[in-house]
Amino acid sequence: MHAIELRSDNAAGVAPAIVEAMVGANVGTAIAYGDDALTASLQRRVREVFEHESARVFPVTSGTAGNSLALSALCPPWGAVLCHETAHILNSEGGATSLLGGGAVMRGVPGPDFRVSADTVSAALDSVRWGDPHHSQPSVLSLTQPTDMGTVYPVAEVAALGEAVRGRGLSVHMDGARIANAIVSLGCSPAEITWRAGVDVLTLGATKNGALSSEVIVSFDDRASDELVYRTKRSGHVTSKMRFQSAQLLAYLDDDLWLRLAANSNERMAQLARGLRELGIGFVNRPDVNMLFAQVADDVATRLEEAGLLFYRIAPGLIRLVTSWQTTVDEVEQALGAFTRALR
Amino acid sequence: MHAIELRSDNAAGVAPAIVEAMVGANVGTAIAYGDDALTASLQRRVREVFEHESARVFPVTSGTAGNSLALSALCPPWGAVLCHETAHILNSEGGATSLLGGGAVMRGVPGPDFRVSADTVSAALDSVRWGDPHHSQPSVLSLTQPTDMGTVYPVAEVAALGEAVRGRGLSVHMDGARIANAIVSLGCSPAEITWRAGVDVLTLGATKNGALSSEVIVSFDDRASDELVYRTKRSGHVTSKMRFQSAQLLAYLDDDLWLRLAANSNERMAQLARGLRELGIGFVNRPDVNMLFAQVADDVATRLEEAGLLFYRIAPGLIRLVTSWQTTVDEVEQALGAFTRALR
Amino acid sequence: MHAIELRSDNAAGVAPAIVEAMVGANVGTAIAYGDDALTASLQRRVREVFEHESARVFPVTSGTAGNSLALSALCPPWGAVLCHETAHILNSEGGATSLLGGGAVMRGVPGPDFRVSADTVSAALDSVRWGDPHHSQPSVLSLTQPTDMGTVYPVAEVAALGEAVRGRGLSVHMDGARIANAIVSLGCSPAEITWRAGVDVLTLGATKNGALSSEVIVSFDDRASDELVYRTKRSGHVTSKMRFQSAQLLAYLDDDLWLRLAANSNERMAQLARGLRELGIGFVNRPDVNMLFAQVADDVATRLEEAGLLFYRIAPGLIRLVTSWQTTVDEVEQALGAFTRALR
Amino acid sequence: MHAIELRSDNAAGVAPAIVEAMVGANVGTAIAYGDDALTASLQRRVREVFEHESARVFPVTSGTAGNSLALSALCPPWGAVLCHETAHILNSEGGATSLLGGGAVMRGVPGPDFRVSADTVSAALDSVRWGDPHHSQPSVLSLTQPTDMGTVYPVAEVAALGEAVRGRGLSVHMDGARIANAIVSLGCSPAEITWRAGVDVLTLGATKNGALSSEVIVSFDDRASDELVYRTKRSGHVTSKMRFQSAQLLAYLDDDLWLRLAANSNERMAQLARGLRELGIGFVNRPDVNMLFAQVADDVATRLEEAGLLFYRIAPGLIRLVTSWQTTVDEVEQALGAFTRALR
């Protein structure tokens, strides 16, 4: 058996249609820094996909860039960004938001299922000394959709959270590193889960789902958009040959490719979870998208590794399994076979 | 005549060998964020090419990122970066170095041929109130090689400048957005024009010379390297699929592709300059590399535009012409033909 | 009964000896920005008081300045400062450390009695992904001594914490906004509770304890000292007439004035706590210094307010009482009388 | 002859009325951080003095703090502050504006008499690539009034500059470290030289003119005021015993004390300049306020130093002389006597 990749969707390759689009974009010359025809097309396409007349798109090359720049445009330097205590922006971006946000701080909020809830956000906001400059003022709620633990916020919950915090003067950011997986899982439209539910700025991930080097910020807020023109550039996130990022994104959005790729990873995870459940393995999260935290004894994990399964050990007795656009039915079958053997 | 691209080497496409390398890298899966085999190869390759045992390479996706991150690792927040008053870092990066450098400042230094000179740097350093915290302390000299106006620092001059400022406690950074063009023009080795001449950290450009989305920081200074591990990440400049940047760079350095591509742009510029000189056109700079600032009357410029020549007007009576790895002998011939007609 | 001030030691006035010293310093002229004779005297005096040969003193005008500048000199921009989850630097300085620290982050650590403990710090450090740039790297442990809740770290505990974190590469900062109260409470020397216990940089408060406008950073770390020369200036914290701050501090340290003033506030709190205990009132903290969180029913609190007692309501059923250098035996008697009446 | 202080008005002492006010403020207790009665009085008083209904006052403790915070509230992080190339903010504040302004940059503009002019500002603005994020966007014009070289902008010139830059979207900041000297020299009202002439935020110096530790930001712009509440705090510039700064400022503004103190320094300079002119000494600047750059041979300067005159040597053959609120008629006489003897 060749190695089966279940470590991260980050480890997957690039979808063929996206490679083709990049190769196809390599014709002639084009003006740099986003003033090209492909980037203009992408701008129009994003407005169509999100059914929003004035949304603006800013291609960047990493999720950290997308999140921290989006937050810097929503949060004043003296503000605080609220997010779940397990959020990527808080734990895995090296303080990018504090750097690019001019010293803004982040505050982790608890909540079941790795999601903030109306109650926990409310409690966090109630403890704020509003208007007291000694106290960092919550200015943005950042929701990770799906969460870093593979759970999903229902549309109504995003909308309720958005409405609640907006009443206290906060904006809403969505870290959508895997947003396509959430959209497929929820069966909603891109607009429903974002601006219609109160999201001001979205970080739309693509690299984990088949793109090569493109994430984009989609801003539904004109003031934030105006700032992002400058903020993206001066942090070094405006590439000269942006047309090749735009080409990726155009292919990604074309014919719902992004949703089809995400559907595959979600379905492969459903297939895997079904099989594991039958084998009696317990889960920490509900596998709503393409990620599973499974309770697997350490010696079993060792045997799985020896059998060629690639995955992460999170803690004693706990492993993380992630499927991708590239995972095949056959690979999942083989993985389940390996589990069966390892459990004997 | 189809349009002839002489606006910027930034507008050129991607070299076929680099596209092939990227497509070829799209096999199987690989761990993200630079822990992959291709990035490890690139690390080794850079040490060979620069004949340096401990050089470290950091792929980023824009020249602004490369420069401002390199400078942030060399300059304390209370320091000042000296550079020529026409330098890109001072005029065309939106203050990135002040942002990522924690409020560090930049100071333009004059100098003939768009280069700082021993005299002008010396004068700048003599006017400093050293050790006075009211006064930003010069900490880095940044040399643009070649300059933004197409002139080149000879090896001996870099070495002399390096030695002079090192005696005052400064480090040396080289903005090598077009370094391959300078190396070809000087006929020196990569080591000679960088660390052997006192350069601590190099921003090695590739995107203007045939790459798709890759610039790299090459650090010859261990302390700066240690910092760059963190600085690149927390500014959002560590991409998840870094292997595709590394693949570009490996192809770029392989078989001297970078020097061959640069040789073409330099030679096409020489061909163009020769022809323009014969037509009696004056130049502001000596066309040492692939860039020419030519004195062309505005009505002539208009006729050139009408004939399909793409170039920038810099000021009344002054245009900028840039060749690239992609410019052909035939295109230069056609361009010269257009000039001949426009001058009539 | 005139109003009795128990809100904060911040609300107290200036000690007469300190006023006299300032008035006395107003003779003739003196060079600005700390190059004066009084500041030089202060420098020598601090080395004597702390029994340290190379300690350096930096007068600033607020505790927030003292803490955030000290931390900025100890923590790299990509680092994290660990502190108790109730620490002033985390909750009441508006993110100053993230601003002046170039985007450094702070992480609250739990712990009983409002103090971090060997266990909680250890747990925090064990969960770190060391060397992973996605994860802010803990670089400083900041101890608030006494804590914002009036508890004190014993000398041995500071030393043990210092040793533990130093082994993981961290520095130690002490927020000593009320350090004199802790020294008096512990009966130790200034050296014992600071550098001999592993503290690298101390923020030594004076304003809460009788000074007018002076806090000082005392750095026992030469590298941090060298940075603070620049960091204090460029954040606007080097005053031109620094001699008047130095005069305050000299008087403050002279003849142990600081310890005598702190002894009064501690003793008045002991007197108050004794009386309240006799009245059956419960406390949240042990009144080791000059601060008490007392369980007082809301209607009782209202009657106390009506009787002219000034204090803060922290939560339903909880009030904060703080004595100062200025609080008199008689005022405490009167306060206790008010409590007796209000409880009826 | 005792030493005569002509180095800097920064070296002068504190005016007796201001000392008295501080001592007088040391009665009872008062709430910290500016929520006290004296600070409220100051707020009202500043509105009267400046004849402005919504001006807001922010006491800080250094001119650098005042300038950099004011500018941070007017200039976006991606903006540029224009100022004269000799301005204090550019040369003598260690890059504070870039630190507190989130990486904003400063650009020196030339101009005769150490002042920017309509022409030089216009030229600077004409060379801007407006809307291009590669280029830091000028957002504030900062005028130093009087300049660091002792020259003064007439009211009409401030108004004209203000109007010109406002048309290009810039705000206007005035660095009024010695604004009282300028007001006295111009014979105008505080309102005329500030907001009526288009100034949005003023840094009003007091420490050089008799205060102990107080400079204030006077903001005529509501949005900037709202930001300054947070910006002052989180940079550590809100002192706990702010009432003692407010007491200083109240005494300073009372009965025009500030103008009377400044009148003395201006008049003593006029007396000095008259005498020096009679002795045949040439000046670099017109002594409009209390500062003179005089052409004095180095051997003469040495003899003056030996005679007990305190002043700064700026360059070979050039010395700086500054009078203060404290300089007496007799001291100027003695200084002129020393010059007479030294010139023999």
pLDDT of residue C37: 95
Domain ranges in chain D with CATH number 3.40.640.10? 16-256
Tokens 């810039």 correspond to D170
Given a cut of 80, is residue A282 above it in pLDDT?
yes
Are the beta carbons of B230 and C103 separated by less than 8 Å? no
**From CA D197, how far away is CA D174, in angstroms rounded?**
11
pLDDT of D287 reads 92
Query: In the complex, which subunits touch A with 3 or more CB pairs below 8 angstroms?
Result: B, C, D
Mutant choice from D61, D69, D321 vs C, greatest count of C C-beta within 10 A: D61
Instruction: Over range A230-237, report the average pLDDT.
Output: 97
- How confident is the model over A185-220, as pLDDT tens digits? 999 999 999 999 999 999 999 999 999 989 999 999
pLDDT at C244 over 90: yes
Determine whether the interchain pair B234/C77 forms a contact, defined as Cβ–Cβ distance below 8 Å: yes
Per residue in D187-215, pLDDT (tens digit) is 999 999 999 999 999 999 999 999 998 99
Which of C134, C137, C234 is facing B133, going by the closest CB pair? C234
Distance in angstroms (rounded) separating the CA atoms of residues C59 and C264:
25
A207 → closest Cβ in B8, B68, B240: B240
Q: Is A68 exposed, middle or buried (0-12, 13-18, 19+ CB in 10 A)?
A: buried
pLDDT at B245: 96
Q: Which helix (H) or strand (E) holds A90?
A: helix A88-91
Residues in chain A with CB shorter than 8 Å from the CB of C94 are 78, 133-136
Q: Tell me which of B2, B71, B237, B328 to substitute to probe the interface with A (most A C-beta atoms closer than 10 Å).
A: B237
The CA distance from D44 to C100, in Å, is 32
Decide if pLDDT at C143 tops 90.
yes
Cβ of D207 within 8 Å of Cβ of C326? The answer is no
* pLDDT score of C25: 95
pLDDT at D276 over 70: yes
CB pairs under 8 A between A and B: 161
Please give the ipTM for the structure prediction. Answer: 0.95
**For range A101-121, the mean pLDDT:** 96
Query: Per-residue pLDDT for D283 more than 70?
Result: yes
Interface of C with B (CB under 8 A): 33, 76-78, 102-103, 133-134, 137, 227, 229-234, 238
* pLDDT digits 0-9 by tens, D222-261: 999 999 999 999 999 999 999 999 999 999 999 999 999 9
DSSP annotation of A136 reads P
Give dist(CA A34, CA D339) in Å, integer: 66
**Nearest residue in chain D measured CA to CA from A33:** D134
Q: From the candidates D234, D237, D238, D242, which should be mutated to test the interface with A, based on the most A CB atoms within 10 A?
A: D234
Q: How many interchain CB pairs under 8 A, B with D?
A: 55
Does position A87 have pLDDT exceeding 70, yes or no? yes
The CATH number of the domain covering residues in D16-256? 3.40.640.10
* Minimal-distance CA residue of chain B relative to C101: B102
Structural contact between residues A1 and A334, judged by C-beta atoms closer than 8 angstroms: yes
The whole-number pLDDT of residue C1 equals 55
Instruction: Choose the closest CB to C230 out of B133, B227, B238.
Output: B133
Q: Considering CB atoms only, which of B95, B102, B135 is closest to D105?
A: B95
Confidence grade of residue D120 (pLDDT, cut at 50, 70, 90) = very high
Min Cα–Cα distance to chain C from A311, Å:
18
Contact B78 C238 (CB under 8 A): no
Query: pLDDT 10s per residue in chain B (344 long)?
Result: 589 999 999 999 999 999 999 999 999 899 888 899 999 999 999 999 999 999 999 999 999 999 999 999 999 999 999 999 999 999 999 999 999 999 999 999 999 999 999 999 999 999 999 999 999 999 999 999 999 999 999 999 999 999 999 999 999 999 999 999 999 999 999 999 999 999 999 999 999 999 998 999 999 999 999 999 999 999 999 999 999 999 999 999 999 999 999 999 999 999 999 999 999 999 999 999 999 999 999 999 999 999 999 999 999 999 999 999 999 999 999 999 999 999 98
CB C104 within 8 A of CB C79: yes
Nearest residue in chain C measured CA to CA from B104: C234
pLDDT at D2 over 90: no
Q: Is the pLDDT of residue A143 over 80?
A: yes
Query: What's the mean pLDDT in A325-333?
Result: 98
Length of chain A: 344
Mean of the per-residue pLDDT values of chain A: 96
* C234-246 average pLDDT score: 96
CATH 3.90.1150.10 in chain A: give the residue spans: 4-12+258-343
pLDDT in tens, C31-58: 888 899 999 999 999 999 999 999 999 9
Q: Please judge whether C29 and D5 are an interchain contact, meaning their C-beta atoms are less than 8 angstroms apart.
A: yes
> How far off is chain C from B75, nearest CA to CA, in Å?
13
Kindly tell me if the per-residue pLDDT of C306 is higher than 60. yes
Residue D49's nearest CA partner among D267, D262, D258, D266 is D258
**Three-point CA angle C299, C301, C303, nearest 5°:** 75
Tell me the chain A residues in contact with residue D230 when contact means C-beta distances shorter than 8 Å: 76, 78, 133, 137
Span A24-64, pLDDT tens digits: 999 988 988 889 999 999 999 999 999 999 999 999 999 99
Q: Which residue of chain B comes nearest to C229, CA vs CA?
A: B133
- Which of C80, C94, C134 lies closest to A136 in CB terms? C94
> Do the Cβ atoms of C16 and C211 come closer than 8 Å?
no
* Inter-chain CB proximity A26 and B14 less than 8 Å: yes
- The span from the CA of A47 to the CA of B311, in Å, is 33
Closest partner residue to B78 among C133, C234, C238, by Cβ?
Answer: C234
pLDDT, tens only, D52-109: 999 999 999 999 999 999 999 999 999 999 999 999 999 999 999 999 999 999 999 9
Q: What is the 3-state secondary structure (H, E, C) of chain D?
A: CCCEECCCHHHCCCCHHHHHHHHHHCCCCCCCCCCCHHHHHHHHHHHHHCCCCCCEEEEECCHHHHHHHHHHHHCCCCEEEEEECCCHHHHCCCCHHHHHCCCCEEEEECCHHHCCCHHHHHHHHHCCCCCCCCCCEEEEEEEECCCCCCCCCCHHHHHHHHHHHHCCCCEEEEEECCHHHHHHHHCCCHHHHCHHHCCCEEEECCHHHCCCCCEEEEECCHHHHHHHHHHHHHCCCCCCCHHHHHHHHHHHHHHHHHHHHHHHHHHHHHHHHHHHHHCCCEECCCCCCCEEEEECCHHHHHHHHHCCEECEEEECCEEEEECCCCCCHHHHHHHHHHHHHHHC
Class at the top of the CATH hierarchy for domain C4-12+258-343: alpha beta
Predicted local confidence at residue D1, as pLDDT: 55
pLDDT of C2 reads 80
